[in-house]
Structure 1
Amino acid sequence: MKKHTLALGVSIALLSTYSQAQTSSEKEIWGGLFGEYYSVYPEKFEPNTAYDSGMGWGGEIGMKLTPDWGFRFEVAKLDLEAERGSGSITGERIGVDALYFINQSNYYIFGGLKNQRLDESYRMADLGLGAHWQLSDKWKIISEIAGYYDFGQGNPEYSAKLGVAYSFGKTGGQRVNKDSDNDGVIDQRDLCPNTAFGATVDVDGCALKATDSDKDGVIDAKDQCANTPMNDKVDANGCSIFTEESKTMSLKILFDNNSSKLKNIDSASVQEFVDFMRRYGSTDAVIEGYASAPGTEQYNMKLSVERAEAVRQYLVEQYNIDSARLEAVGYGETKLLDKANTREAHQKNRRIEAYVTATVKIAVSK
C-alpha cells in the first residue's frame, strides 16, 4: 500500500507540473481523496471466515481529455468486517477507469479494470455512475456508486463513494466555445473574426451578402413578412405598418304622403349599401325613419317607425342581411330637413336615412 500511495503522490506532482506547462491545453486535471462503503460477496472467502462489508478510503488522480471523455487512476484501502463474530480483514484496490461525461455535463458513466488484494489477488471489472459537484473553480465533491465483477469467481460486489477533489489545471475550458464577435461561430472555427454585430454569417463566420427580395429595406434574414407591397411603409421586422380609419356608408329613401310603402327605389344605392355591409361583416346599421310636419306629432312618430321598419324588412328579405345587424328607429317630425310649409319641403322630410360605419386598417404608404 505504501508503494501505491507513493505512486499516487508522484502522479499528482507530475500531472500538476504538466498542467502548469500546458497553458494552451484544454485538459482538466484533478486529484482527490475519498471514503467509501464497500459490500463484498459473502461467500468470497469460503471455506475461511466470511466477510460482509466495511469501509474504505483512498485517492484518485484524473484527467479530462475532452469535454466528453476522461480517465483516472485510483488507489483504495479496504477494511472489511467479519460476517459472524469478531475480526476483520484489510486489503487494497488499485486500477484505472475511463469516464464518459453525459452531454458534456458533470454527470458521468465510468468503467475500468481493478486489482483487489485481500487474502489473495482478485482481477475485477467495474461499472458505475458518478457526479462532480462544483464548489468553486478549483474544488468539487465526488459522488459515485459502482458494481464490481470478479473474473475469477464471477461474484458481484458494490460500493458507494464520497470524496473531495482539487483541480490542478483547467487551462482553456472557457475558450472552447468562445465567440468573440458573437456571430454564432466559435473562435476556433471563425475564419472572419470581428464581423459586424448582427450580421448574418455562413458556417465559417463570414458575413453573407444581404438580400432584400421584396425591396422593403429589411434584409431577408430579418424579414418576418416577405413580399410586402412596394408602396407600404414597414417596421423593423419588414411588416406593413397600418393605421385605423373609419368608413361610413349611407342610404336615403323617400316616401309618399301618409305612406310607408317602398317604391321608386334607387336599386344602385341600395346595392352599394348592401355591398358595404357584406364586406364589413362585423358592422351594424341604424335605419332612421322621419315624417313631414303635417299631421299630429303622435301619428308622425308612428309613421316614421313604420317607414324605418319597412326598409329593414326589405334589406332582410331581398338581400339576406341578418336582421340582428339592422336597427329601425323613428324620429317623427323632430328632425325636419326643410321647415318650410311647401310641397317640396314636405317631400324632402318624408324619408329614411340609414348609416353604417366600419373601422378598417389602412396600410401606411412610404
Structure 2
Amino acid sequence: MKKHTLALGVSIALLSTYSNAQASSEKEIWGGLFGEYYSVYPEKFEPNTAYDSGMGWGGEIGMKLTPDWGFRFEVAKLDLDAERGSGSITGERIGVDALYFINQSNYYIFGGLKNQRLDESYRMADLGLGAHWQLSDKWKVITEIAGYYDFGQGNPEYSAKLGVAYSFGKTGGQRVSKDTDNDGVIDQRDLCPNTPFGATVDADGCTLKATDSDQDGVIDAKDQCANTPMNDKVDANGCSIFSEESKTMSLKILFDNNSSKLKNIDATSVQEFVDFMRRYATTDAVIEGYASAPGTDEYNMKLSVKRAEAVRQYLVDQYNIDSARLEAVGYGETKLLDKANTREAHQKNRRIEAYVTATVKIAVSK
C-alpha cells in the first residue's frame, strides 16, 4: 500500500509541474540512447549465487517543462554477471524521473521510481546527478551517476550512465534563450548567475579577474581610453582629464623711415612664430603695422598697412603659412610706443607686431 501511495504522489507531482508549465514557451522534448555500468547488491538473489555488476543499455524520452524542471521516462536492459557460481542474469528496468536543473544550467538532480524485473520484480527509488553536454543545438551527451534503494530488501545499488540525446523540438511556441544577468551567457549555460553588470565573464558566465592594463584605476572592461600615460589623472571612463590654457606668441619687426621693405629680420623670432602657427593649426594671427609721428595721418596709415601686408606676404612665401590664417591691419601713428620727437622714438614706433593666441589642452597630473 505504501509503495502505491508513493508512486501516486510522484505522479501527482509530475502532473502538477506539467500543468504549471503550460504557459511556458521553454518546453523541450528529447530522446536518447545510453549504456550504463550497474552494480547490484551481491546478496540480492538466491543464497548460493551472488551477482556483482554488469552492463546495461536503454533509452529515454524526456521533456523540459521550464528552465528549472523536467521529467523523463526510461527503459533499460540489464545483464548482470555472477560473482559466485556460474552464468548471468538478465532483466529490465522501467521508470520515471523528475529532473531539477541547477540554476537553470545543464547540470541537474534527478529522482523517481523504478520497477526492476530480474528473477522477480523489485520496486525501487533512485536519486542521482547528471549533466547534458551540448554538442550542437540538437545533439547532446548525457552523463549520470545514480543510487537505487530497494523498498522490499532495503539494499543499495548504483549505476553510471553515458549516452547521447537528440532534441526533437520545442512545444508551445518559439524558445527564447534568456540571459537574466546580461553577461552574454544564456541562463541555461550560466554557472554563475547574477554577475555584476558590465563584468567580463568566461564561457561559463563567471567573472574573470579584473585587469587594468594601463594602471589608471579603471578596469579594462570599462576603460574607453587604453594606454593613458601613467602620470595623467583620468575620469570614470579611464580617459585623461585636461585643463585649457591660452598660449600667446608675438612677432616684432622694425622698419626704416618711409619704408615697407623688410630688413635685418630676426630669423630666430620669426621661426618661433612660424613653429607656433604650425603646431596650433587652427589658430589665426593678426599682423599689425605701425608708423612714426612724422608725416600726415593719411600717409602714415597707408604706410602701416603696406608694412603689415609685406610681413604677411613674407610669411606666406617663405614659410607656406596659409594666407587665410593671416590678417594684415594698419594703425598708422595712432598707437605710438614713444611720443618723444627723437630719432630713437621714431625708430621704435616704425614697427610690426603680430599676435596669435591658441587655446590648448594640458593633461592634469595625478
Give the TM-score category using the shorter length. Answer: 0.5 to 0.7
**In 1: Cα distance, 2:219 partner to 2:54 partner:** 69
Offset at 1:290? 0.5
Contact 2:105 2:189 in 1 (8 A): no
Residue-by-residue CA offset, 1:77-132 (whole Å, 9 max, x unaligned) = 99999999999999999999999999999999999999999999999999999999
Contact 2:26 2:176 in 1 (8 A): yes
Offset at 1:62? 15
**In 2: Cα distance, 1:60 partner to 1:195 partner:** 35
Q: CA RMSD in A?
A: 14.8
Tell which deviates more after alignment, 206-215 or 309-318: 309-318
**In 2: Cα distance, 1:86 partner to 1:176 partner:** 55
Contact 1:218 1:238 in 2 (8 A): yes
Gaps of 5+ in 2: none
Contact 1:16 1:168 in 2 (8 A): no
Residue-by-residue CA offset, 1:292-340 (whole Å, 9 max, x unaligned) = 1122212211211121122122212222222222221111110011112
Tell which deviates more after alignment, 45-54 or 202-211: 45-54
Contact 2:109 2:130 in 1 (8 A): yes
Three-state SS of the structure 2 residue aligned to 1:103 is: helix
Three-state SS of the structure 1 residue aligned to 2:298 is: helix
Contact 2:35 2:162 in 1 (8 A): yes
**In 1: Cα distance, 2:108 partner to 2:202 partner:** 34
**Change over 3 Å in CA distance of 1:183–1:344 after alignment to 2:** same
Offset at 1:56? 49
**In 1: Cα distance, 2:45 partner to 2:188 partner:** 56
Where does residue 2 of structure 1 map in the other structure?
Answer: 2
Where does residue 105 of structure 1 map in the other structure?
Answer: 105
Offset at 1:159? 50
Tell which deviates more after alignment, 326-335 or 281-290: 281-290
Tell which deviates more after alignment, 245-254 or 49-58: 49-58
Gaps of 5+ in 1: none
Offset at 1:252? 0.2
Tell which deviates more after alignment, 49-58 or 333-342: 49-58
Where does residue 254 of structure 1 map in the other structure?
Answer: 254
Contact 1:80 1:90 in 2 (8 A): yes
**In 1: Cα distance, 2:55 partner to 2:220 partner:** 66
Aligned length: 366
Tell which deviates more after alignment, 196-205 or 209-218: 196-205
Contact 2:48 2:85 in 1 (8 A): no
Three-state SS of the structure 1 residue aligned to 2:188 is: helix
Tell which deviates more after alignment, 162-171 or 268-277: 162-171
**In 2: Cα distance, 1:208 partner to 1:36 partner:** 37
Contact 1:20 1:169 in 2 (8 A): no
**Change over 3 Å in CA distance of 1:59–1:167 after alignment to 2:** same
**In 2: Cα distance, 1:101 partner to 1:187 partner:** 11
* 4+ aligned runs moved over 6 Å, structure 1: 1-17, 21-25, 28-176
**Change over 3 Å in CA distance of 1:305–1:157 after alignment to 2:** farther
TM-score, structure 1 length as denominator?
A: 0.53
Contact 2:52 2:83 in 1 (8 A): yes
**Change over 3 Å in CA distance of 1:104–1:180 after alignment to 2:** closer
Where does residue 168 of structure 1 map in the other structure?
Answer: 168
Percentage identity across paired residues of the two chains: 95
Offset at 1:242? 2.7
Tell which deviates more after alignment, 249-258 or 96-105: 96-105
Tell which deviates more after alignment, 48-57 or 250-259: 48-57
Please state if 1:118 is matched with 2:129: no
Contact 1:250 1:353 in 2 (8 A): yes
**In 1: Cα distance, 2:196 partner to 2:155 partner:** 63
**In 1: Cα distance, 2:228 partner to 2:9 partner:** 72
Residue-by-residue CA offset, 1:190-229 (whole Å, 9 max, x unaligned) = 4334544543222223221111111111111121221111
Contact 1:8 1:75 in 2 (8 A): no
Residue-by-residue CA offset, 1:170-196 (whole Å, 9 max, x unaligned) = 999999856565544455544334544
Three-state SS of the structure 1 residue aligned to 2:324 is: helix
- 1:197-212 matched pairs, under 5 angstroms: 197-212=197-212
Contact 1:62 1:70 in 2 (8 A): yes
Residue-by-residue CA offset, 1:326-355 (whole Å, 9 max, x unaligned) = 221111110011112222222211101011
Three-state SS of the structure 1 residue aligned to 2:329 is: strand
